[in-house]
């Protein structure tokens, strides 16, 4: 399997937090507070690009247009303040046919696995997979051409996480992770590997 290239972050655009507490199923209620403090900070190379989408009541949005060329990439990173007990992150994802993406929850540990918890859809596939401490696990399906609501719930005390698809439990439930709290944000990526890319809309971006 190809290794996904991760690079540093440069410029940033600031969004205000949105007034909306996590419920047990990872859904937002009207009383919750989105913990995004800034972003997106964009780093890109080659022919990949991004544009900001109009924010919803739930949170901001961004469209990534990834190039399939080897070396083309884009990372949109958002900072957040979530505390030490864990985090619940959410996004509505609408990928074009064949498009690939990576969603990464960012922690405060050492080494790759202590700092990143990754979800991804590979090029030409509709499978959403998660990088657990024991290896990659298929969570379920993210179809092309339609919005799919995703939730990623990190339980710091137990060192586990759950992935929700369409508000329901997926094949990724109570999986082990080495991610270390506090969670400091998340990133959205078009990887630099050849064949990755395509257009993906990320809307209703939230973390709390």
Q: What number of H helices and E strands is found in the chain?
A: 1, 16
For the chain, the C-alpha Rg in angstroms (whole number) is 15
* Percent share of the chain, pLDDT over 70: 84
> Across 60-159, where does the E strand assignment appear?
61-66, 73-80, 86-95, 101-106, 116-121, 127-132, 135-141, 148-155
Domain positions in the chain: 30-203
* Strand 168-169 relative to strand 185-190, pairing: unpaired
Pick from 85, 62, 65: nearest CA to 13: 62
Kindly give the residue spans of alpha helices, DSSP state H, lying in the chain: 111-115
What pLDDT was estimated at residue 7? Answer: 39
What pLDDT was estimated at residue 146? Answer: 97
CATH of 30-203, one of 2.30.30.110, 2.60.120.200, 4.10.410.60, 2.60.40.790: 2.60.120.200
pLDDT digit string, tens, across residues 2-55: 344 433 333 332 222 322 223 333 443 333 568 999 999 999 999 999 999 998
pLDDT digit string, tens, across residues 168-178: 999 999 999 99
pLDDT digit string, tens, across residues 192-206: 999 999 999 999 999
């Amino acid at each position: 399997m190809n290794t996904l290239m991760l690079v540093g972050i440069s410029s940033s655009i600031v969004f205000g937090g949105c007034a909306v507490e996590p419920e047990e199923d990872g859904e937002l209620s009207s009383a919750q507070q989105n913990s995004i403090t800034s972003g997106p900070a964009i780093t890109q190379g080659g022919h990949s690009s991004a544009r900001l989408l109009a924010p919803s009541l739930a949170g901001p949005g961004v469209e990534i247009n990834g190039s399939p060329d080897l070396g083309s990439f884009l990372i949109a990173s958002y900072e957040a303040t979530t505390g030490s007990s864990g985090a619940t992150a959410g996004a509505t994802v609408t990928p074009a046919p064949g498009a690939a993406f990576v969603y990464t929850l960012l922690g405060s540990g050492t080494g790759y696995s202590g700092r990143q918890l990754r979800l991804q859809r590979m090029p030409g596939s509709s499978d959403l997979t998660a990088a657990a401490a024991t290896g990659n696990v298929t969570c379920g399906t993210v179809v092309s051409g339609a919005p799919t609501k995703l939730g990623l719930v990190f339980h710091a005390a137990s060192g586990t996480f759950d992935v929700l698809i369409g508000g329901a439990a997926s094949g990724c439930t109570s999986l082990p992770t080495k991610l270390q709290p506090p969670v400091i944000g998340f990133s959205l990526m078009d990887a630099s590997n050849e064949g990755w890319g395509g257009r993906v809309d990320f809307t209703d971006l939230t973390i709390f």
